[in-house]
Amino acid sequence: MRYRALSDVRVVDLTHFVAGPYATKLLADMGADVVKVEPVWGEGGRKIGPHRASVEERGGLFAFLNLNKRGVTLNLKHRRGRELLAGLLDGADLLIENFAPGTLAALGLAPHELIAKFPRLSIVSISNFGQDGVERDGRLNDLVLFARGGWTFPVGEPNREPLTPPGSLAQYVAALYGAIAAMQALAARDLGLGHGQHIDVSILEATVATMIYETVTFQYSGILRNRAGKRFAVGPFLIATLKCKDGYAGLHCVTDKQFEGLCDLMGRRELASDSRFNSALNRMLNNDALLEIVEAFFIGRERKWLYREGQRRAIPLVPIPSVAEVLEWEQTRARNYFETIDDPVLGKIRAPGTPLRLTSHRGEASRPAPQLGEHNREIFGGQLRLSDSEIEALKRAGTI
């Protein structure tokens, strides 16, 4: 879905893989004119999976993360390539990039020089560790990022190795900080607080930012949260992922009211006044005993029954769906959340929709992710007024 709220914002997008492209997707979904600039061989994210059988050149994640953007190619190692990039930056509001720190400067495109040349331009750099610090140039991947940022240590069985979260979740968190930073730069500029600026977002810091249960709680309590298996933690609550007859259910029982509801659900109302469980503190002290009782009840019930009967008692209790079930969930269906995209290479795909529902605009259909250099002619010919023969010459030279 695409809104038009940011239709006056021009973004030059030098990002690749996940964290950068999701940041610019957020802007593109709000109507910003995002021009994705790729090397002539395509950004690395084009080929990462998931793949449709026999289609290697375009992965599904690329097709999703680059919706609503236009795409051009430029070889920034060519002088002419950098000149054309400058042409795109002239009049642009934002440059967003996630190269390794120092890459832009090495190309002769140092951020402070770009901002001096284009005073309306702000630059958002998203990088592994930030633009400075002792380990500025270090490498990361998802497993290592989750581990280092603290997400992994408290997850999994106490007698086994810690369990990493799935996918690239933390990189999306960093992307959000990047997209917010872009809007912050625009707000500061438009409020007259100076020119554009170069904003530095560290993926590691974005990852750590969400770990307040650990970093701050630990200082307050002095208690290190260890792996608690199916439980989120052992605390004055029961938050757990429990096996039931046909899968797993997620229980979030925190308040006295929720606990009374849970006792009622199990037909064990006497437990609410049981001296082991009659206060949050006692539920923490006797958490193992409580877990045992609840587990024994859940195992004999079906997910749907637990969901319906739990929610009827105002307990946040949900079935744990597979991604296939998320796709078919009647709630996402009723709200037309997933959007069917007719991708030029992958065919019809159902992509997660935009979570922001503005009432100021009617959402329009998304535009598929660009093919490599798809908008070269439109942008270099139109916006930068190059002639057809110039464009042909650039192509021959390998600049576009």
Partner 1 sequence: MSTIFEGKIRVLDISMGWAGPLVGQMFAEMGAEVIKVEDTRHFDWWRGSLSMAPPEMQPIERAAVFNTANRGKRGVTLDLASARGIEILKKLIEVSDILIENFSPGVMERLGLAYEAVGAINPRLIMISMPSFGSDGPECNARGYGNTVEAMAGVTGLTGYHDGDGQRYTLSNALGDPVGGLHGVFALMVALRERERTGRGQLIELAQVESLIPFVGEAILDFQFNGKVPASRGNRHREHAPHGIYRCAGENNWIALVCEFDANWRGLASALGLERIADDPRFASAPARKANEDALDAELSRAIALLSADECLARLRDAGVLAAPVNSAPAVMADEQIQSREYFVAIDRAVVGTHLYPGAVARMPDTPLRADESAPLLGEHNRQVFAELLNMSDEEIAELERLGVIGTRPRLGEG
Q: Which is nearer to partner 1, 167 or 398 (CB)?
A: 167
* Rg (alpha carbons) of the chain, rounded to whole number: 25
Q: Shortest distance, CB of residue 82 to partner 1, whole angstroms?
A: 24
Secondary structure letter of residue 382 according to DSSP: I
CB neighbourhood size of 69 (10 A):
26
129 interacts with partner 1 by CB under 8 A: yes
Q: Near partner 1 by CB under 8 A, which window of 291-299, 321-329, 364-372, 385-393?
A: 321-329
Q: Which is nearer to partner 1, 107 or 280 (CB)?
A: 280
Q: Shortest distance, CB of residue 208 to partner 1, whole angstroms?
A: 6
Burial category of 166 from C-beta neighbours within 10 Å (exposed 0-12, middle 13-18, buried 19 and up): exposed
Q: Shortest distance, CB of residue 240 to partner 1, whole angstroms?
A: 8
- The answer to whether 242 touches 285, Cβ cutoff 8 Å, is no
Please select the residue that binds partner 1; options are 44, 91, 108, 352, rule is CB under 8 A: 352
Please select the residue that binds partner 1; options are 40, 100, 110, 144, rule is CB under 8 A: 144
Report d(CA 297, CA 295) in Å as an integer: 5
Please select the residue that binds partner 1; options are 10, 46, 69, 198, rule is CB under 8 A: 198
Please select the residue that binds partner 1; options are 225, 276, 304, 367, rule is CB under 8 A: 225
Q: Which is nearer to partner 1, 195 or 395 (CB)?
A: 195
Please select the residue that binds partner 1; options are 289, 296, 358, 397, rule is CB under 8 A: 358
121 interacts with partner 1 by CB under 8 A: no
**DSSP secondary structure letters along 301-343:** S-HHHHHHHHHHTT--EEE---HHHHHH-HHHHHTT-SEEEEE
Contact partners, residue 78, CB within 8 Å, separation at least 6: 397, 398, 399
Q: Which is nearer to partner 1, 75 or 197 (CB)?
A: 197
Q: Which is nearer to partner 1, 88 or 201 (CB)?
A: 201
Q: Residue for token digits 């309306």?
A: 120
Per-residue contact flags (x/-) with partner 1 for residues 3 to 22, judged by CB under 8 A:
--xx-x-------------x
Please select the residue that binds partner 1; options are 275, 300, 331, 362, rule is CB under 8 A: 331
CA distances from 283 to 156, 173, 256, 258, 339 (A): 22, 33, 10, 12, 44
Report the DSSP pairing between strands 122-127 and 70-73. Answer: unpaired
Q: Shortest distance, CB of residue 132 to partner 1, whole angstroms?
A: 7
132 interacts with partner 1 by CB under 8 A: yes
Residues in the chain: 400
155 interacts with partner 1 by CB under 8 A: yes
